[in-house]
Structure 1
Amino acid sequence: MDLLWPIKWLIELILVSFHTLFSSIGFSFNSGASWVLAIVGLVLVVRAALIPVFVKQIKSQRNMMLVQPELLKLQKKYKGKTDRESREKFAREQMDLYKRTGSNPLSSCLPLLLQMPIFMGLFFVLNDAQRNKAGVGLLDAALAQSFSQAEIFGARLSDTFFGSDDLNVKILAGTMIFLMTASQFITQKQIMTKNQNPDVQNSQFMQTQKILLYVLPFVFLISGVTFPLGVMTYWLVSNFWTMGQQFLVIRNMPTPGSPAFKAREERLARKGKLQIEEPTAAAEEETKKRQQPVGKQRAKKKKKQT
């Protein structure tokens, strides 16, 4: 049984539904425009469904930033201890710290990983359509042929960079690969330069982010030359969504202590909207209560010394 069958069926449902919609409002039935817009519609549906995951990702990333000082203390605690017991204790305490704070060092990859079945499902749908093979759902043989033969800028949606000698395909595929790679790099770069606290630049989390800065664009670069233009269209539109979404989050909900956070405070200050919380009477009273026992203890020590 094909494990991707439900995903392929759902992809075909969304694609055919949007294609029918755009064909009914004036776009040519067999045009690349109607099918590309259908792919854009697929992106909007998938990314809208992933918004809760993205919100969870943002919270997890913030928690990772806040937990870095504790994590650095933990690393110093076990620095130089290479015995098995110490390594196990370090791993256990680290996992407890992540669990207690709701952090996840791999949170940046989660939305991409969740979309991989969509990428693969769309790839196989296009691969079948390229051979004029009907899909598993609403994409019948006629629609499959229309999809595979639809052209954008003189290149078919089923063409790949290495699978065609047509110059139009090479230029379009190369341009899309470049844009995919650049958008992924920019998205990751703006997280590192604008939304990170400078105090944790040398933390393990930041080292992971630096690796992702170059690994993820490299993945797009390698994968792009083998994927059909239809799949790359989905990937490119999804990357632009991610880049725009990330820009809005960094601008409006930046990590405390980051350059973006300071920039937001400056914008609010210029508009007179920056609110500085004043300590309340209850908070002041609580502070006095906490300080009082310390004062008594010090006083007792002084009496004993005299």
Structure 2
Amino acid sequence: MDTIASLFSFITYPVSWIIVQFHSLYGAIFGESSGLAWGLSIVSLVILIRICLIPLFVKQIKATRGMQALQPKMKAIQERYKNDKQRQSEEMMKLYKETGTNPLSSCLPILAQSPFFFALYHTLSNIADGKPVGAMDQQLVDSARAAKIFGAPIAAKFMDTPEKVAALGATLTDVRIVTAVMIIMMSLSQFYTQRQLMQKNVDLSVKTPFMQQQKMLMYIFPVIFAVMGINFPVGVLVYWLTTNVWTMGQQMYVINQNPTPGSKAQDQYLTRLLKQISSHGELKGRGRKRVVAAIVAKGPDRNDNERKFIATLTKQGMAAQPDGSVIKSVEATADSDAASGGAAKRQQPKRQSKSQRQTPSKPAPKK
């Protein structure tokens, strides 16, 4: 890990400089050597990085959905050219080019975040050794070495020796309890995020090997993080736990506001739209109108959720427009007006008495 981290030493200075700036703010409030000040500095670093990575996250969503949509075609190419790997590869690349899909786009946020992760690891390793690093002079390093989170120094690791932990002014028991709890929380947050994605935001109408791969990753990734976590300093665990929580919240927002077409989340989202339309008689919000406009534009290519949405609107006497607005259906209004008008014109005949019904009516006199 130290060897890999050293490869990203070129970004150590900007990362350490950002931490120092945040520390100068939190240190003035909580104290320079406070674990809260240094911990919040790392959390703020994560938030700043993740805000900068939002455009890449949007690309990741589009790439993931594009890959899901291409799975049936990719499977057909694999079966057609199963004995010709070179042709299979060429056809795959051709398919990616035609659809504008890049398989690597789904990994962009993780790849872009890796240098910052390793730079932070490199910074904390130097703090543990008491060496100045990047923008942190000896005074700041000594302050960081003295900082503890729930009794565990931010530079300590689960696998550290009792002597090394003692040099940081803590006990091995405190370090292992804190790191174990953080590793478990980190793994659980990773598992929940992946599980949430699989259960709610996957197109259930397309059964492909991609879904099976995602299910495998849902169980494999948390185990990988747990194994790697025992070699992470407390500060890095704070970093990774924070980024997991951010990812989980970001994904929940996307699932609720922009779900994958054909998914369970889309069905729930369209149900909420129907409730809003029933309550207010119209659809409010640009984002919601964009979703409805996209459904209208699909025409006969709508999935089951979208067809149910349009059918329910029709039953309610409403109609979705190309611009995404929802208005009262002209046909439904005409039928309603005709029905009410006909009822008004039709008059019930006057009720006759028994003697009137038995008495034959007289013929009209001849002129």
Above 0.5 in TM-score?
Answer: yes
Distance 1:149 1:116 in 2: 27
TM-aligned CA deviation for residue 170 of structure 1: 1.2
Match of 2:255 in 1: 250
Distance 1:4 1:271 in 2: 51
Match of 2:118 in 1: 120
Alpha-carbon spacing, 1:126–1:118, altered in 2? closer, same or farther (3 Å): same
- What pairs up with 1:150-189 in 2 under 5 angstroms? 150-165=147-162, 166-189=172-195
Alpha-carbon spacing, 1:191–1:214, altered in 2? closer, same or farther (3 Å): same
Match of 1:145 in 2: 142
Match of 1:34 in 2: 37
TM-aligned CA deviation for residue 200 of structure 1: 2.5
TM-aligned CA deviation for residue 148 of structure 1: 2.0
Match of 2:65 in 1: 62
1:215 aligns with 2:220: yes
Q: Which range moved further: 155-164 or 231-240?
A: 155-164
SS of 2:155's equivalent in the other structure is coil
Distance 1:212 1:128 in 2: 33
Aligned identity (percent) is: 42
Q: Which range moved further: 33-42 or 69-78?
A: 69-78
The answer on whether the counterparts of 1:130 and 1:145 sit within 8 Å (CA) in structure 2 is no
Distance 1:75 1:215 in 2: 26
Structure number with bigger Rg: 2
Root mean square deviation of aligned Cα? 2.0
1:277 aligns with 2:292: no
Distance 1:103 1:215 in 2: 26
Extract unaligned runs of 5+ from structure 1: 284-306
TM-aligned CA deviation for residue 168 of structure 1: 1.6
Alpha-carbon spacing, 1:104–1:190, altered in 2? closer, same or farther (3 Å): farther
Q: Which range moved further: 4-13 or 161-170?
A: 161-170
| 44, 62, 72: which one aligns with 2:47 | 44
| 247, 256, 264: which one aligns with 1:259 | 264
Q: Which range moved further: 220-229 or 4-13?
A: 4-13
Distance 2:143 2:173 in 1: 22
Distance 1:11 1:123 in 2: 10
Q: Which range moved further: 68-77 or 260-269?
A: 68-77
Greater RCO, CA 8 A, separation 6+? 1
The answer on whether the counterparts of 1:57 and 1:107 sit within 8 Å (CA) in structure 2 is yes
Equivalent pairs counted in the alignment come to 271
| Amino acid corresponding to residue 15 of structure 2 in structure 1 | I
Distance 1:118 1:277 in 2: 43
Distance 1:265 1:54 in 2: 24
Extract unaligned runs of 5+ from structure 2: 1-5, 163-171, 278-282, 300-321, 323-367
TM-aligned CA deviation for residue 164 of structure 1: 4.9
| Amino acid corresponding to residue 4 of structure 1 in structure 2 | F
